[in-house]
């Protein structure tokens, strides 16, 4: 067991007031760690004055280890693939424990381009992904439109990643909170301004961008603007796959839900504000309707912006915080917080319970940044 983390029986002997685990952050990663720890018999408190109001409230919920396998991110891709492998079991456990439908859908993802340039750019990535042995297959325009007739006739080429799925992040957070609270986790609805405010034997910082001031780690906000549309007539959207596209050079994704919602995302901006701009909405809508023309008829029901917790190498920061015994970090999930929730919760919970870091954590250690370690 990690230094400072006794077994739950030891903690009872030493006194009932100190919790085993204090999780800072009530997003999916924080709640999932809390739930998994409670399932292992630990007494857990989640600290957050606005649980579920961070990046997960904006996120589309794509479980995309293949379409988001980018050049130079080999270790991250391995973690994405492993977490996606765990998703079906995690979803089944969580649905049973919470009674909440997660909106987990397995229709797969189409990646498409509208111009020869779009397809050339995407084609290099598809070749890289195939070279890693990932399941992605190029398709001709006619095959793409057979799969999704709602796609524009302008589509020039694309690929299908059948194993890239989706979940509804807002439902996910509600389910995790319910499951965690049913397992005995309590919420302390207060902002944590310093780690000394957490009275637990082990503190887990799962606070997204809020981890930076608490830990000094180089987590920076990367703004993303997202839209939510609704299909007319109360029916489902006219397409079932997640569609990721390059529309005249603009990347965009469309995530259809059974409820009739379509999430359109997302800008990627090196800024710390959460304002929705006319330019952001214009860029997303233009690219979206170029890919799927029927979206012009959909109602625009929400515009929102959030902050992805970015890191210098785009990979999460997982493990013991150097120089701070009893403090663990699970943050910096950047574009992948939803897909990485199961593996993060499992690895961090095992570390708390056994005190032994799984070798899979090594590439994501908080001490990997050297001089970049301190932010501001």
CA distance 137 to 134: 9
Pick 180 or 262: Cβ nearer ligand GLY: 262
**Shortest distance, position 118 Cβ to ligand GLY, whole Å:** 18
How many other C-beta atoms can be found within 10 angstroms of the C-beta atom of residue 113?
25
End-to-end Cα separation, the chain, in angstroms:
33
The mark string for 262-281 relative to ligand GLY (x by CB under 6 A, - otherwise) is: ---xx---------------
DSSP of 310-341: E-TTSS-EEEEPTT-TTEEEEE--GGGTTTTH
By beta carbon distance, the residue nearest ligand GLY is 335
Cα angle, residue 29 at apex, residues 33 and 12 outer, rounded to 5°: 20
CA 200 to chain centre: 26
Among 103, 158, 208, 224, binds ligand GLY (CB under 6 A): 224
Listed in sequence order, the DSSP H helices in 40-192 are: 55-58, 74-98, 116-131, 141-147, 169-182
Can residue 288 be called a binding residue for ligand GLY (CB under 6 A)? no
**Shortest distance, position 266 Cβ to ligand GLY, whole Å:** 4
Can residue 165 be called a binding residue for ligand GLY (CB under 6 A)? no
**Shortest distance, position 310 Cβ to ligand GLY, whole Å:** 10
Can residue 62 be called a binding residue for ligand GLY (CB under 6 A)? yes
**Shortest distance, position 60 Cβ to ligand GLY, whole Å:** 6
DSSP lists the bridge partners of residue 369 as none
**Shortest distance, position 134 Cβ to ligand GLY, whole Å:** 16
CA distance 80 to 60: 16
Pick 251 or 326: Cβ nearer ligand GLY: 251
The residues, ordered by sequence, that sit 6+ positions from 52 with a Cβ below 8 Å of its Cβ are: 26, 27, 170, 173, 174, 177
Residue with tokens 């995407």: 122
Pick 224 or 332: Cβ nearer ligand GLY: 224
Pick 187 or 229: Cβ nearer ligand GLY: 229
Pick 2 or 122: Cβ nearer ligand GLY: 122
Can residue 308 be called a binding residue for ligand GLY (CB under 6 A)? yes
**Closest residue by Cα to residue 214 from 15, 38, 48, 55:** 48
Can residue 335 be called a binding residue for ligand GLY (CB under 6 A)? yes
Q: Which residues bind ligand GLY (CB under 6 A)?
A: 62, 224, 265-266, 308, 335
């Amino acid at each position: 067991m990690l230094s400072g983390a006794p077994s739950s029986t030891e903690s009872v002997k030493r006194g009932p007031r100190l919790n085993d685990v204090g999780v800072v952050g009530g997003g999916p990663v924080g709640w999932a760690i809390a739930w998994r720890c409670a399932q292992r018999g630990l007494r857990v408190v989640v600290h957050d004055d606005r649980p579920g109001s961070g990046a997960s409230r904006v996120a589309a919920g794509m479980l995309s280890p293949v379409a988001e396998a980018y050049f130079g991110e080999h270790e991250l891709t391995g973690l994405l693939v492993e977490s996606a492998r765990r998703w079906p079991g995690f979803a089944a456990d969580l649905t049973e424990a919470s009674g909440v439908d997660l909106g987990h859908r397995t229709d797969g993802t189409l990646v498409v381009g509208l111009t020869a340039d779009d397809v050339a750019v995407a084609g290099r990535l598809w070749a890289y992904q195939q070279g890693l042995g990932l399941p992605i297959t190029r398709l001709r325009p006619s095959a793409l439109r057979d799969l999704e007739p709602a796609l524009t006739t302008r589509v020039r080429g694309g690929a299908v990643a059948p194993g890239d799925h989706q979940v509804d992040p807002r439902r996910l957070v509600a389910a995790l909170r319910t499951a965690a609270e049913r397992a005995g986790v309590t919420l302390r609805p207060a902002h944590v301004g310093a780690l000394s405010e957490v009275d637990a034997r082990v503190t887990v910082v799962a606070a997204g961008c809020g981890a930076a001031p608490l830990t000094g780690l180089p987590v920076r906000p990367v703004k993303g603007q997202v839209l939510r549309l609704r299909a007319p007539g109360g029916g489902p959207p006219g397409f079932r796959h997640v569609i990721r596209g390059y529309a005249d050079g603009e990347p965009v994704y469309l995530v259809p839900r059974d409820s009739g919602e379509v999430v359109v995302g997302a800008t990627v901006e090196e800024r710390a504000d959460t304002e929705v701009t006319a330019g952001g909405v214009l860029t997303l809508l233009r690219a979206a309707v170029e890919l799927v023309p029927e979206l012009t008829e959909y109602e625009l029901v929400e515009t929102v912006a959030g902050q992805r917790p970015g890191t210098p190498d785009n990979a999460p920061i997982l493990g013991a915080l150097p120089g701070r015994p009893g403090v663990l970090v699970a943050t910096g999930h950047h574009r992948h917080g939803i897909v990485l929730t199961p593996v993060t919760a499992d690895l961090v919970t095992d570390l708390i319970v056994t005190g032994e870091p799984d070798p899979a954590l090594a590439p994501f250690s908080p001490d990997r940044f050297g001089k970049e370690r301190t932010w501001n």
